[in-house]
Amino acid sequence: MPTCVIGIDLGGTQLRAVLADREGTILQQVRMPTASAAGPAAVVAQIVTCVEQLQAWLTPEDTLLGIGVGAPGPVEPQHGIVFYTPNMRGWVDVPLSERGRAEATIASTRLRDYRVNVCFTSMLMRAMETAVICLTECDEICDGKIPVFKHAADDPNWHGWDKYDGDPSLELPIFPTPALDERHYGDLQGLNKAETAAKFGAEQVHEWRRSFSTRPPGGESLEDTMKRTVPFFRDRIMSHIKHGDNVLVSAHGNSLRSIIMDVEQIPGDEIVKLELGTGVPIVYEMDQTGQVLKKEILNT
């Protein structure tokens, strides 16, 4: 057996561990439900068990280079505590993490060959941060203009004192709107997968997360989210596309799924399976009717 490493993926509902060679070929693997409800000590005991099971495959001549553990968020190194990292962020207004800012910077470099005329974001801080990073890390994207947050004239937050529309030759407008906010997770909001599984049961949580029309308690289904995002897309965003503008949309997994569902005419039972990579822009070239002429995923 070649020189090996052990990698552990500590998820909220599943714990996966693999023994691999230096080329990344998986030689053995162990998988089990994460004992989140039993507390941290039980989870640590599971990790030890996984390592022992994989080490049992090694011979005295084999070399174990190291063991790596991936946790669902930043870890405080002295005590091994995972910082607050909700999977069900929803409308919880958390800022971008360091990783999120890095991914937004990568997205900016991938968009450097495009010139943006107008930007729409949700009202949530992480989407607005992403938009600003994307527009400013590569000067070419703004074509020398300054990104400026603005209210539309028909926005209920638009006031008499902000009548100045700016100079379109100098400014690139960013319009925040609640229509693009993430799906509201109701009673699940602000929790992570382990907490929701312990409270409601893993199967029930999976149903709420991956069903098109089923709502979590007090929250929205993906269908509900679509009912606010798609009309806004068809009215406001498409009006700019028909005018010939290049539009940047900075939003969230479910609000973007809703728009993609409409643009690509994907059925509801299929759209819930669509995974969107963070920091990976999707570029659609459309005609004035909204027909997609070309789609490109900028993942390199």
Least confident stretch, 27-31, 147-151, 166-170: 166-170
Task: For domain 4-82, give the fold.
Answer: Nucleotidyltransferase; domain 5 (3.30.420)
With 0-12 / 13-18 / 19 or more C-beta atoms within 10 angstroms meaning exposed / middle / buried, residue 39 is exposed
pTM of the model: 0.70
Mean pLDDT for all residues in the chain: 84
For 98-297, the fitting CATH number among 3.40.50.1980, 3.40.50.300, 3.50.50.60, 3.40.50.1240 is: 3.40.50.1240
In this predicted model, what pLDDT tens digit does every residue of 9-31 receive, in sequence order? 877 667 889 998 877 788 889 98
Q: Which of 17-26, 37-46, 70-79, 243-252 has the highest mean pLDDT?
A: 243-252
Q: What residues contact residue 251 under an 8 Å CB cut-off, 6+ apart?
A: 120, 121, 122, 127, 180, 181, 182, 229, 259
Say which residue, 78 or 26, is predicted with more confidence. 26
What value does the mean pLDDT take over residues 177-194?
A: 84
On whether the CB atoms of residues 139 and 108 are closer than 8 A, the answer is no
